[in-house]
């Protein structure tokens, strides 16, 4: 059986696949046309965020059985088309959690203490210490939108700073949390009361452009927003307008509507910190997602076992032959 490696994964991940007897077609640094050509005769495809498995690729990959997403987000996979073709879609939902949560905290601290401006002005030979007075996180209100694994880790870290935490998630309620940890409220209440707002939700039809100019107007003028989730949840042109007009104070953006984002409306804006989708870019996360997706892919193709699938239930190796 053949597996197309369309995005980079670690050597240990590749070893798991090859040791399972799978033939690897490595096209991580190839063009889209080369990836499409290689997909014609494969049983599995492994991707990160750099490759899209759209309907075109699915039509070309006629023998495809499984897509492995080394990471959490699956917005670069046409899930409906894959499901209609009977292609199993798996992701690795747990291994990026700490890295994404820590990057979120790093961006919040950078915004609060003007670290980005301090660095850039000092590199230009300017000692602007008195113009870059920041704010403490203690006693500030943080609104966490999306209380899955990453959102909960962010909550834990914010509590350690002495922040007051509120949150919104349509799938949770106050009974799931201690009142001393977090106050669960409606989205508009969270947005209007928070000093910092951080997003931890998938991109879908319900969350696309969730933050437009009208929602920015509900935020405090001193508030900042952080997005380490998915580009498209924030309307980028509306955010730029909100910052330029002083509707809100600042933003930290790790994900963009179009990636790679080598050009952006935010570039050059002092109120915005931009990072190139670094939420999961730690040595630990890179290694762990590679190992997990490789294990899941090899288990599925060699035994039929299914784990962390988006479009079907999990199945053990012993159950697979019976249910096939």
> Residues with catalytic annotation?
230, 259, 277
Give, as one character, the DSSP assignment of residue 22.
P
Residue 7 has a CB neighbour count (10 Å cut-off) of 20
- Which tokens hold the place of 230? 């998915």
What is the DSSP pairing of strand 250-253 with strand 224-227?
Answer: parallel
Would you give the end-to-end CA distance of the chain in angstroms?
18
DSSP 109-177: HHHHHTHHHHHHHHHTT---GGG-----STT-EEEEE--SHHHHHHHHHHHHTT-EEEEE-TT--GGGS
Are the CB atoms for 317 and 304 separated by under 8 Å? yes
- Tell me which residue of 26, 36, 32 sits closest to 5, measured CA to CA: 26
Q: Torsions phi, psi of 213, nearest 5?
A: -60, -40
- Contacts with 191 (C-beta within 8 Å, 6 or more apart), sequence order: 143, 197, 215, 218, 219
The sign one gets for the Cα dihedral 120, 126, 127, 129 is negative
Within 13 Å and on the Cβ side, how many CA atoms surround 221? 4
| Cα–Cα distance for residue pair 127/218, rounded to 1 Å | 35
């Amino acid at each position: 059986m053949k597996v197309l490696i369309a995005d980079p994964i670690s050597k240990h991940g590749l070893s798991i696949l090859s040791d399972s007897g799978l033939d690897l077609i490595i096209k991580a640094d190839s063009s889209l046309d080369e990836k499409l050509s290689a997909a014609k005769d494969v049983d599995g495809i492994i991707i990160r965020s750099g490759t899209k498995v759209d309907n075109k690729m699915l039509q070309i990959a006629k023998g495809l059985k499984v897509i492995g997403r080394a990471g959490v987000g699956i917005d670069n996979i046409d899930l409906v088309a894959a499901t209609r073709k009977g292609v199993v879609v798996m992701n690795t939902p747990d291994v990026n959690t700490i890295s994404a949560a820590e990057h979120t905290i790093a961006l919040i601290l950078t915004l609060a203490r003007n670290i980005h401006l301090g660095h850039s002005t000092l590199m230009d030979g300017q000692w602007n210490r008195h113009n870059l007075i920041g704010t403490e996180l203690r006693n500030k209100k943080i609104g966490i939108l999306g209380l899955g694994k990453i959102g909960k880790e962010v909550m834990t870290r914010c509590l350690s700073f002495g922040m007051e935490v509120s949150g919104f998630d349509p799938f949770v309620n106050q009974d799931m949390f201690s009142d001393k940890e977090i106050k669960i409220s409606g989205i508009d209440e969270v947005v209007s009361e928070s000093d910092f707002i951080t997003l931890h939700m998938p991109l879908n039809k319900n969350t696309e452009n969730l933050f437009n100019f009208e929602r920015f107007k509900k935020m405090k003028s001193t508030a900042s927003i952080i997005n380490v989730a998915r580009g498209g949840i924030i309307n980028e042109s509306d955010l730029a307008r909100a910052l330029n007009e002083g509707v809100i104070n600042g933003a930290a953006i790790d994900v963009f509507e179009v990636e790679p984002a080598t050009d952006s409306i935010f570039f050059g804006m002092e109120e915005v910190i931009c990072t190139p989708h670094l939420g999961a870019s730690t040595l630990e996360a890179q290694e762990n997602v590679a190992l997990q997706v490789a294990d899941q892919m090899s288990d599925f193709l060699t035994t039929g076992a299914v784990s962390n699938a988006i479009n079907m239930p999990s199945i053990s190796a012993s159950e697979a032959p019976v249910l096939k």
